[in-house]
Amino acid sequence: MDLAQGIVKAAALLGAGLCMGMGALGPGVGEGFVAGKACEGIARSPENASLITRTMLVGQAVSESTGIYSLVISLLLIFST
Amino acid sequence: MDLAQGIVKAAALLGAGLCMGMGALGPGVGEGFVAGKACEGIARSPENASLITRTMLVGQAVSESTGIYSLVISLLLIFST
Amino acid sequence: MDLAQGIVKAAALLGAGLCMGMGALGPGVGEGFVAGKACEGIARSPENASLITRTMLVGQAVSESTGIYSLVISLLLIFST
Amino acid sequence: MDLAQGIVKAAALLGAGLCMGMGALGPGVGEGFVAGKACEGIARSPENASLITRTMLVGQAVSESTGIYSLVISLLLIFST
Amino acid sequence: MDLAQGIVKAAALLGAGLCMGMGALGPGVGEGFVAGKACEGIARSPENASLITRTMLVGQAVSESTGIYSLVISLLLIFST
Amino acid sequence: MDLAQGIVKAAALLGAGLCMGMGALGPGVGEGFVAGKACEGIARSPENASLITRTMLVGQAVSESTGIYSLVISLLLIFST
Amino acid sequence: MDLAQGIVKAAALLGAGLCMGMGALGPGVGEGFVAGKACEGIARSPENASLITRTMLVGQAVSESTGIYSLVISLLLIFST
Amino acid sequence: MDLAQGIVKAAALLGAGLCMGMGALGPGVGEGFVAGKACEGIARSPENASLITRTMLVGQAVSESTGIYSLVISLLLIFST
Amino acid sequence: MDLAQGIVKAAALLGAGLCMGMGALGPGVGEGFVAGKACEGIARSPENASLITRTMLVGQAVSESTGIYSLVISLLLIFST
Amino acid sequence: MDLAQGIVKAAALLGAGLCMGMGALGPGVGEGFVAGKACEGIARSPENASLITRTMLVGQAVSESTGIYSLVISLLLIFST
Amino acid sequence: MDLAQGIVKAAALLGAGLCMGMGALGPGVGEGFVAGKACEGIARSPENASLITRTMLVGQAVSESTGIYSLVISLLLIFST
Amino acid sequence: MDLAQGIVKAAALLGAGLCMGMGALGPGVGEGFVAGKACEGIARSPENASLITRTMLVGQAVSESTGIYSLVISLLLIFST
Amino acid sequence: MDLAQGIVKAAALLGAGLCMGMGALGPGVGEGFVAGKACEGIARSPENASLITRTMLVGQAVSESTGIYSLVISLLLIFST
Amino acid sequence: MDLAQGIVKAAALLGAGLCMGMGALGPGVGEGFVAGKACEGIARSPENASLITRTMLVGQAVSESTGIYSLVISLLLIFST
């Protein structure tokens, strides 16, 4: 492996780490906010628990998507370069 | 691969990682806020659950768009350079 | 490719990544705030749902614009240099 | 292209990316705040929806201006150097 | 162009980018706060809409001034050096 | 081991550390918010404790997922390079 | 131009950019807060609109002063070195 | 030990420190929030103290998990490289 | 000008820029807070407008002082070195 | 001691410092929040002081655990390398 | 001037800039908070205006002291080295 | 002292400074929060002052522990290397 | 002065600047909070003005102490090295 | 003084500055919070002023301790190396 290839590979792996790291920070906080508000909502109106849980899961799923994009980009950076 | 090409490729891959990372952080937090407020809203007025869920999904979709732009730029940086 | 061209191209690609990354962070949070407030508003006065949704979409469209500027600058940095 | 020109061009392109990135972050958050407050306002007094929407659009337009300055400076940095 | 001139020009262009970027971030957020509070105010007392809108525009104009200073400094850094 | 391989390996290991570090920060805060709100909710309506606990666990599990993605990427960066 | 002069000039121009950038960020946010509170105040007591507007303008003028100091220092850094 | 191995080992140890540091910061704040809310809850409804304590411990355990992932990655970085 | 003098002068000018930049950020935000609270206060009790305005101006003048210190240090760094 | 060993040892010691520093910051803030809420709770319902104190201590103990992980990793980095 | 003296002088001047910059940021925000609360207090109880103004000035004077320390250290760094 | 030993010692001392610095920041803020809430609590129910003070001291002692860990690590980094 | 002495002196002076800068930032904000709360308190109960002022001054004096430690360390770094 | 000793001494002095700087920032803010809450408490229940003042002083003393640790470490870094 010559030096140029080494720099490319190193940048890819460092980038993968930063990408997944920041990509886990954002959705991790966001989804926690969703679930926290859902718990608060169920405590206030338990008769709508299934409705709120469903909304929570759908909302988290959308928010999760950007985390999954990060995962995909990280895997691409690790394996395809 | 000579050194100049290596620096270019390395910058592209590092940039891809930072781009997707920050691009997942913002929408991840933002969409979590949407879904959290939607859960709160449904707990208060469950009879409008479908309306609120629809608004939540539309709002998240628009917010998701910037995350998808990041994904596109990241993929461009990885593959087309 | 000589070294000077490599540095230019590398800076362009790293800049594209940072530009789209930060440009997705801001509107992503901002649009999430809009949609969250819209959900809160519909829960309070569901009879105005269409009005609120329209305002939300218009407001998000304007906020999206800066995200699109970032996308344009990123694409320019990737392709036209 | 000699090395000095390369450094100049590289700085211009990296600066363009940072400029548009930060210039999208600020107005993106700010305009989101405007639109969120407008949705909240319409939910409270729907009979003034047109007034509030007009104010929102005017306020966002002024806030957008700094984002457009960033776009202009970014384009200048990319093309005129 | 010799190396010293290249460093000077490069610093000027990078400085222009940072200047306009940060100079758009601050007023962008600040003006968004103004317009958001104006929308909130009109929703509460719509009969004073013209007064509030006038105050909002004057206040935003003053806040815009620092953004314009940044624009001026950025243009000076790009063209006069 | 030659120098290029050393740089690649070093970048992978540093990236693994940053990835898991940031990937633990986000979900750690987010899940704490969920559990805090769940405790608050049970104190207000203890008769729904099982419902709230179930929602808390489901919400935390989804939020945990991005932390697990970080773990996976970190392990990949350590072992498969 | 020899190298030492180049470094001095480069530092002056980069410093000018950072100075105006940060010097626009602070007053931009601060003046936005003033104007936002003024709009809120006029909505509550419109009969004192002229008093509030006058106070807002005086307060913003003082806050603007630090932004103008930054402008002066930036111009000095660009032209007098 | 040659230089390449030294760089790899150094990166692993620095990465281990950053990983555990950030991985302790997040859960440390998050779990503190949980326990704080639990104390608040018990003060309000002491008759549910056991329920709240149980929920607190379960919630903290899940939040602790990301801290433990960090510990595992740190130990791996220290010993297995 | 030899290299050592160049480094000294460059550090002085960069330091001047950072000093005035941060020194404008703090008082800019702080004085905005003063003026915002003054507007809020006049809206609540307009009969004390002159008292509040006087207090606002005195308070801003003291807060301005640190901004002026920054200006003085910046000018010293630019001219007396 | 040759240079490679020196770099390894230096990275280990710097990493140990950062690890314990950040690992003390997080739990330090978190545990302070717990104890603050416990004091607030006892002021409101002093008859449950022992219950609240017990919960506070258990909650702090769990939160302390990540601080202790940091201590362990720091000691490992100092002594075992 | 030889190189070692140049580095010392450069560090002193850069340090002076950072010292005064950060030393103006903190008291600038803090004193703004004092004056803002004083305006709020006078609006609520104008009959105690002189008492509140006196307290504000004493409190600001103490807070100003750390800003003056920064000024002294900056002047020492500029002139006595 | 050869260069490798110098780098190791330098890293240890810099790490000690950062470790104690950050390790004082966190508990310093956290313990301030505890004592602030304790003062608030005593003002509300002075008859429980001894109970609240005891809880405050116990809570601060636990929070202090991470600060002491930092002290220990710093002393180890200074003396045992 | 040889190079090694120059680096030591330079580090001492830069460290002195950073130390006093950050050491003025913290107490500056903290003491501002004290004085702001004191003004608020006097506005609410002016008959206790002397008590509150005394408490404010004592509290600020303790908070000032860390600022004075910074001053001492800065002076030591400037003069005794 | 040879170069290795110079680097060690330089790192110690820079570390001392950062240590005391950050170690003054945290307790400075925290103790300000304590004293602010104490003033608020005395305004509400002046008959308990001595109790609250005593609690404030004890709480600040504990919070001060981490600042004093920083002072000790800084002095050790300056004198004993």
Mean pLDDT by 10 residues, chain B (81 residues): 86 94 93 94 91 92 93 92 68
pLDDT for the residue numbered M81: 67
Nearest to D7 by CA among L32, B26, J32, C8: C8
Answer whether E34 sits within 8 Å of G30, measured CB to CB: no
- Looking at residue N73, its amino acid is I
- Average pLDDT (N1-21) is 90
In whole angstroms, what is the distance from residue C71 CA to residue B66 CA? Answer: 9
In whole angstroms, what is the distance from residue B36 CA to residue F63 CA? Answer: 13
pLDDT for the residue numbered L3: 85
For chain C, the average pLDDT equals: 92
Using the predicted structure, report yes or no on whether residue A14 has a pLDDT greater than 90: yes
Using the predicted structure, report yes or no on whether residue C59 has a pLDDT greater than 70: yes
CB–CB of F52/H72 below 8 Å? no
Using the predicted structure, report yes or no on whether residue A26 has a pLDDT greater than 70: yes
Nearest to H17 by CA among A47, F20, C39: F20
Mutation target to probe the J interface, by most J beta carbons within 10 A, among L40, L42, L55 is L55
Using the predicted structure, report yes or no on whether residue D4 has a pLDDT greater than 80: yes
In whole angstroms, what is the distance from residue G66 CA to residue J22 CA? Answer: 35
| J57 contacts chain L (CB < 8 A) | yes
- Average pLDDT (I43-69) is 92
- Average pLDDT (C37-55) is 92
- CB atoms near residue N79 (< 10 Å): 11
Chains G and B touch (3+ CB pairs under 8 A): no
- Looking at residue J45, its amino acid is S
CB–CB of B59/A57 below 8 Å? no
Q: What is the tens place of the pLDDT at every residue in K31-75?
A: 999 999 999 999 998 998 999 999 999 999 999 999 999 999 999
| G2 contacts chain I (CB < 8 A) | yes
- Average pLDDT (D54-71) is 93
Using the predicted structure, report yes or no on whether residue C21 has a pLDDT greater than 90: yes
CB–CB of C17/B19 below 8 Å? yes
For chain G, the average pLDDT equals: 92
pLDDT for the residue numbered L81: 67
Above pLDDT 90, what percent of chain G?
Answer: 81
| K80 contacts chain I (CB < 8 A) | no
- What is the pTM for the complete model shown? 0.91
Nearest to E24 among D22, D33, D40 (CB): D22
Residues in CB range of L80: below 8 A, 6 or more apart: J78
In whole angstroms, what is the distance from residue M13 CA to residue N3 CA? Answer: 18
Above pLDDT 70, what percent of chain G?
Answer: 98
Which of the residues in chain E have pLDDT under 70? Answer: 1, 81
Answer whether C69 sits within 8 Å of D24, measured CB to CB: yes
Domains of chain G plus CATH, in order, are 24-80 (1.20.20.10)
Nearest to D33 among E16, E23, E32 (CB): E32
Answer whether I13 sits within 8 Å of G17, measured CB to CB: no
Chunked into runs of 10 residues, chain M (81 residues) has average pLDDT values of: 86 94 93 94 91 92 93 92 67
CB–CB of F53/H58 below 8 Å? yes
pLDDT for the residue numbered J56: 93
Answer whether G35 sits within 8 Å of E62, measured CB to CB: yes
Q: Residue L33: which pLDDT band, with cuts at 50, 70 and 90? A: very high
φ and ψ at F45, to 5 degrees?
-135, 80
Nearest chain E residue to G60, by CA: E62
The 3-state DSSP class for residue C37 equals helix
CB–CB of M39/K56 below 8 Å? yes
Nearest to A17 by CA among B73, H12, E71: H12
| K16 contacts chain I (CB < 8 A) | yes
Nearest chain F residue to H14, by CA: F14
In Å, how far is E43's CA from the nearest CA of chain D? 5
Which of the residues in chain J have pLDDT under 50? Answer: none
pLDDT for the residue numbered G4: 86
Greatest extent of chain I over all pairs of C-alpha atoms, in Å? 65
For chain L, the average pLDDT equals: 92
The 3-state DSSP class for residue M80 equals coil
In whole angstroms, what is the distance from residue H76 CA to residue J2 CA? Answer: 25
| L10 contacts chain N (CB < 8 A) | yes
Q: What is the tens place of the pLDDT at every residue in H1-49?
A: 688 888 999 999 999 999 999 999 999 999 999 999 999 999 998 998 9
What is the number of CB-based contacts under 8 A between chain A and chain F?
Answer: 205
Answer whether L74 sits within 8 Å of J10, measured CB to CB: no
Using the predicted structure, report yes or no on whether residue L1 has a pLDDT greater than 80: no
**CB-facing half-sphere around the CA of B33: CA atoms within 13 A:** 23
Residues of B in contact with C48 (CB under 8 A): none
What is the number of CB-based contacts under 8 A between chain L and chain N?
Answer: 205
CA A40 to chain centre: 23
For chain I, the average pLDDT equals: 92
pLDDT for the residue numbered F2: 83
pLDDT for the residue numbered A54: 92
DSSP B10-76: HHHHHHHHHHHHHHHHHHHHHHHHHHHHHHHHHHH-GGGHHHHHHHHHHHHHHHHHHHHHHHHHHHH
Using the predicted structure, report yes or no on whether residue N1 has a pLDDT greater than 80: no
Residues of B in contact with C44 (CB under 8 A): 41, 44-45
- Average pLDDT (C13-36) is 94
